[in-house]
């Protein structure tokens, strides 16, 4: 990733992963297999819930991060085996005061919390619940100044009722009535709050309701249930593979949805949510994995595993160094030249088992599993070298989306998932400042900063994607620190000359609850990228670093292909949780589904 200008004195560089070299004397080894975290979903009515005829959906038990290393792992680090954990989601058509279990969580807006002159709730649902609790709910909300703001929550321990605890979770101003990212985020936060409360109290079963669910349209109820489920499932998940004493599995076994509909439509929506969450978890694990574990070869094997598991719709092609040379990928191979771990060019292809193809898409992800910065090495406070394992966040999003789509199986769309995976190291064989690289489309690049390596790998990956005959390309990269400075840690920047493609991807992000912001492709800035001896340099001046990086990538995209670049350097990582976010997987999945026949 190109470092932000205030952090580095050099011109904008590229997002960097830190790893350690491996001795050539290391032996071959295999990782232990890790079962996939499992969720099961059911949609029931009150009647069949009573009779036990609930529909149940179980995810495929998959192995997670089962790697074969080319060399033994530096530090002898191997991910531990994690037992699978199953959570059942059920939609039940019963009154919330009749529900029995460990925690009843109610999402409330600021409007829902308005009280009358007697300090009693005006909201019908809260009034009924408060009556059952003999006024305790209204009393506590006043004492704790709980007004329903986003981020507020309170939980009461009660006895003598069907539920052991009642929790109120603030939704702020409430839904807009559409699938905006702000509404989706609010309901996802409700799900995360449920997961947190369940962990703290070791709850086995939880129910969730919305105080004003009667005001939601049937379609928005589906969106709401999906967002809550996403927050709860991802909030329950913890990545403990590299801890010597992994925490116990969560106690949570079931989540019931009250007043949010039911039937086949909700059943389908919850299954879709499960599939997307499995992709997000894969994305998180890939980014979280240390660079001495996640090498280019290991990343390629993760891709092959997806193709093997879902061979009915997926095929894989992994190119080695010699094959990349045959394709004249000098830009990609220049970055990889210094590493002991050989590069791998990953190409997964999704094709529906039946039906005609109406659209061909490509998703390209930056795959720097380790980036020292090369001879422009990252040094000094703020260079983030200790976090640079997330420099392959783009490729993690690509593979996470691939896994999710393999389960969803959208019809009528062919998707190429492409990653140029390598490490950017320092050695006598490595790329030097001043070197000139020749990309696979024949264009020459003067390297004026070896820490702007991500765009060099993407150059050949984009040329390759165009050669697959695709209609549209979305690439993702933790490309520039400048984008973090501009948009902060929660928003990704997008760059494109296609207004139509920008609308598509932004619409997908709003459904997914992820934040994107379109930045300009200012052509006049290209002057800073001109070289006196080659077609271009690989990085411009300190100003507008994210824009010049996008302009660089544009040089390797066929003019007939619609293309959009996502700079996800900010939201790839959560500093507070010290872990990956799985960012962009939900957006990519939604974008592909929107381009499929199922959306027609």
Q: Which residues are the active-site residues?
A: 378, 455
Contacts of 98 by beta carbon, 8 Å cutoff, 6+ apart? 162
Dihedral angle sign, alpha carbons of residues 128, 133, 135, 137? negative
Chain-centroid distance, C-alpha 573: 10
Per DSSP, 256 falls in state E
Per DSSP, 406 falls in state H
DSSP 471-490: SEEEEEE--BHHHHHHH-SS
Distance separating alpha carbons of residues 54 and 48, to the nearest angstrom: 6
Cα distances from 371 to residues 233, 338, 597, in angstroms, run 32, 11, 40
- Greatest Cα pair distance, the chain, in angstroms, is 81
Map residue 283 onto helix, strand or coil.
Answer: helix
Cα distances from 144 to residues 17, 53, 159, 326, in angstroms, run 45, 42, 21, 68
Neighbours of 380 (CB within 10 A): 10
Reported residue count of the chain is: 600
Map residue 40 onto helix, strand or coil.
Answer: strand
- Do β-strands 63-64 and 413-424 pair in parallel, antiparallel, or remain unpaired? unpaired
* Token pair recorded at residue 363: 């998703």
**Angle CA 102–103–104, to nearest 5:** 130
- Do β-strands 314-319 and 344-350 pair in parallel, antiparallel, or remain unpaired? antiparallel
Cα distances from 276 to residues 39, 179, 207, 406, 594, in angstroms, run 12, 17, 22, 10, 14
């Amino acid at each position: 990733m190109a470092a932000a200008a205030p952090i580095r004195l050099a011109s904008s560089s590229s997002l960097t992963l830190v790893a350690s070299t491996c001795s050539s004397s290391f032996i071959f080894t295999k990782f232990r297999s890790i079962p996939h975290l499992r969720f099961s979903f059911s949609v029931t009515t009150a009647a069949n819930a009573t009779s036990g005829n609930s529909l149940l959906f179980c995810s495929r038990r998959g192995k997670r991060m089962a790697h074969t290393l080319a060399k033994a792992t530096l530090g002898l680090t191997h991910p531990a085996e994690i037992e699978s954990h199953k959570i059942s989601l059920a939609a039940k058509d019963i009154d919330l005061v009749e529900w029995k279990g460990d925690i009843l969580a109610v999402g409330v807006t600021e409007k829902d919390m308005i009280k009358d002159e007697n300090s009693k709730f005006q909201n019908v649902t809260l009034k009924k619940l408060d009556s059952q609790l003999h006024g305790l709910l209204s009393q506590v909300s006043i004492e704790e100044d709980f007004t329903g703001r986003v981020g507020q929550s309170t939980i009461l321990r009660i006895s003598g009722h069907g539920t052991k605890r009642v929790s109120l979770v603030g939704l702020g101003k409430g839904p807009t009535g559409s699938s905006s990212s702000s509404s989706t985020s609010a309901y996802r936060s409700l799900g995360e709050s449920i997961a947190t409360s369940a962990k703290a109290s070791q709850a086995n079963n939880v129910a969730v309701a919305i105080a004003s669910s009667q005001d939601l349209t049937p379609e928005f109820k589906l969106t709401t249930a999906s967002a809550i489920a996403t927050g709860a499932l991802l909030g329950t998940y913890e990545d403990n593979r590299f801890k010597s004493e992994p925490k116990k599995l969560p106690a949570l076994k079931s989540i019931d949805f009250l007043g949010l509909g039911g039937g086949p439509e909700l059943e389908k929506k919850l299954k879709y949510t499960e599939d997307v969450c499995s992709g997000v978890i894969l994305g998180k694990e890939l980014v979280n994995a240390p660079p001495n574990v996640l090498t280019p070869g290991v990343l390629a094997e993760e891709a092959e595993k997806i193709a093997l598991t879902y061979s009915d719709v997926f095929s894989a092609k992994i190119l080695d160094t010699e094959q990349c040379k045959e394709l004249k990928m000098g830009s990609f191979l220049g970055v990889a030249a210094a590493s002991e771990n050989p590069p791998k060019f990953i190409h997964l292809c999704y094709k529906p088992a039946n039906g005609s193809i109406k659209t061909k898409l490509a998703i390209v992800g930056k795959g720097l599993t380790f980036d020292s910065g090369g001879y422009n090495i990252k040094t000094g406070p703020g260079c983030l070298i200790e976090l640079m394992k997330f420099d392959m966040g783009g490729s993690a999003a690509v593979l996470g989306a691939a896994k999710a789509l393999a389960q969803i199986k959208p019809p009528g769309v062919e998707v190429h998932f492409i990653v140029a995976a390598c490490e950017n190291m320092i050695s006598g064989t490595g790329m030097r400042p001043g070197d000139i690289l020749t990309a696979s489309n024949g264009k020459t690049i003067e390297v004026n900063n070896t820490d702007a390596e991500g765009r060099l790998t993407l150059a050949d990956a984009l040329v390759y994607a165009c050669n697959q005959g695709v209609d549209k390309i979305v690439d993702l990269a933790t490309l520039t620190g400048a984008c973090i400075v501009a948009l902060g840690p929660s928003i990704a920047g997008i760059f494109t000359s296609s207004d139509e493609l920008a609308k598509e991807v932004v619409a997908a992000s709003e459904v997914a609850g992820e934040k994107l912001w379109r930045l300009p492709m200012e052509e006049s800035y290209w002057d800073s990228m001109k070289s006196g001896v080659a077609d271009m340099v690989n990085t411009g001046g300190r100003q507008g670093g994210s824009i010049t990086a996008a302009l660089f990538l544009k040089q390797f995209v066929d003019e007939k292909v619609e293309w959009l670049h996502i700079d996800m350097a900010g939201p790839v990582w959560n500093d507070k949780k010290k872990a990956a976010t799985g960012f962009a997987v939900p957006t990519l999945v939604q974008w592909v589904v929107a381009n499929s026949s199922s959306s027609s």
